[in-house]
Amino acid sequence: MAKDDLTPDKLLEQGLAILSGLLGSTWTVTPRPEPEESHGIDVIVEVKAEGDSTFTQLLVELKPSLTPRVVDEVLVPKVGLLRRLSQYTNLMVMAPWVSPKTQQLLRHHGISYLDLTGNVSLRVRKPAIVIHTEGATRSPKTLSQEQRTTLAGPKAGRLVRLLADVHPPYRATQLAQSAGLSLAYISRLLDALEDQLLLRRDGRIITDVDWQELLRARATQSGLLRHNSYVGALAPNGVPAVMDDIRALPPAQFDGVAVTGSYAAHRVAPLSAGGQLMLYVAPRLNVDDLVDDLGLLPVRENADVLLLRAPDRAVFDRAVTLDGLQHVALSQLVLDCLSGPGRLPAEGEAVLKYMSEHHDQWRNLSIEHLSGKPQF
């Protein structure tokens, strides 16, 4: 059913059908007339077991869409008011789809939810009801049904990096100028991030960024090896020899190569040794020529060196040179690890932990004075 066709009545009808199916035939689920003082509740639903005089009332909110911001700014204050009137208040929100982050926030505040894909959480003391089922983890809407700005793509990656690397406050105009993106695009993406509680604004000024969750959210929309073309190679003389050869490259080539992945993560998160040497190669350089210059042998399998064609020059933003090799900034490293294969996601989480414990060593205090300050 298209979004425009899903009226509140149809949402309620389908939601109650799902709830009835989960409870079984020995329960009745009945909408009741609203009292005069409904406190803005859309509908009251009575739930009762057959042969039992005890029943509960669910105060149901119907939402065509639901974001963490709506939960934080609308539902949490409402449930607080309702619970002051009665500690046994059971608030449930019904929506076409509820994202995993929104589900987590609702459970944290003791608010029940039900969506039409099968994500359901309901806890009632009396009569005792405990239901938890999982449905779709991604929105079932197709792109044609929901044209919206997402965290996918190089432009979003550029803005995410900037938001993570620079401590607020700042304005959208400053971000647009620094990232080289249009103000219209920046504004749309900031709106989406605010809805997800990944940042907060006071008027037009961004005052806070949840940079850890922002990086995690971006990583789910990207893939280190899925979204970057790459060449695999063997190092006949070993990886240390390749690193020496990179140090000896002429400046025009050296500036276009940066270490990412496990070898970069080992500096701050030495979970294990070894792994593939992953190198970003700037778009202006020819990867095949670089393979020859480094004495590598191209292979389809069992590569110990991966040369990734950088999708955007921004992956080199705020890179630092350590031991004669250029390394991507920590925010880029986290994105690459979290979206990579094998043990890389665990290394990405370890890098995040390091960043949270050494905040002053890597995050810039001013957008006007971005620097490549030491990050490792």
Are residues 158 and 191 located together in one domain of the fold? yes
The domain spanning residue 91 has which CATH number? 3.40.1350
Look at residue 149 and tell me if it is in a domain. no
CA distances from 35 to 16, 29, 32, 88 (A): 20, 18, 9, 17
pLDDT at residue 278, as a whole number: 96
- Give the pLDDT of residue 146: 43
Asked if 251 and 349 sit in the same domain, the reply is: yes
Are 276 and 316 part of one and the same domain?
yes
* pTM, entire model: 0.80
Residues 294 and 312 in one domain: yes
Do 168 and 90 have their domain in common?
no
Tell me if 141 is assigned to some domain.
no
Distance of CA 305 to the CA centre of its chain: 29
Q: Nearest Cα to 57, choosing from 18, 36, 38, 30?
A: 30
CA distance 351 to 39: 46
* Domain termination site, one of 133, 163, 194: 133
Q: Within a domain: residue 146? A: no
What pLDDT is stored for residue 34 in this prediction? 64
Considering the domain architecture, whether residues 85 and 207 belong to the same structural domain is answered as no
Whole-angstrom CA distances from 83 to 22, 36, 78, 93, 110 are 26, 18, 9, 16, 11
Q: What is the pLDDT of residue 87?
A: 64
End position of a domain, from candidates 202, 220, 238: 220
Range of the domain at 215: 154-220
Single residue among 193, 220, 247 that ends a domain in this structure = 220
pLDDT of residue 35: 55
| 305 and 279 within one domain | yes
Residues of the chain scoring pLDDT < 50 = 1-2, 142-147
- Is 208 in the same domain as 259? no
Residue 143 lies in a domain: no
**What CATH number is attached to the domain comprising 204?**
1.10.10.10
| Spatial strand order in the sheet of 205-209 | 170-171, 205-209, 199-202
Has residue 95 been placed in a domain? yes
Residue 139 lies in a domain: no
pLDDT at 37: 52
Peptide bond into 127 cis (omega under 30): yes
Judge if 172 and 127 occupy the same domain.
Answer: no
Q: What pLDDT, on a 0 to 100 scale, did the predictor assign at position 257?
A: 97
Sign, Cα dihedral of 243, 249, 251, 254: negative
Same-domain pairing of 10 and 110? yes
State which H helix or E strand residue 148 sits in. Answer: none
pLDDT digits (tens, 9 = 90+) for 7-34: 999 999 999 999 999 999 899 999 986 6
Q: Do 261 and 205 sit in the same domain of this protein?
A: no
Query: What is the number of domains present in the chain?
Result: 3
CATH of the domain at 252: 3.30.460
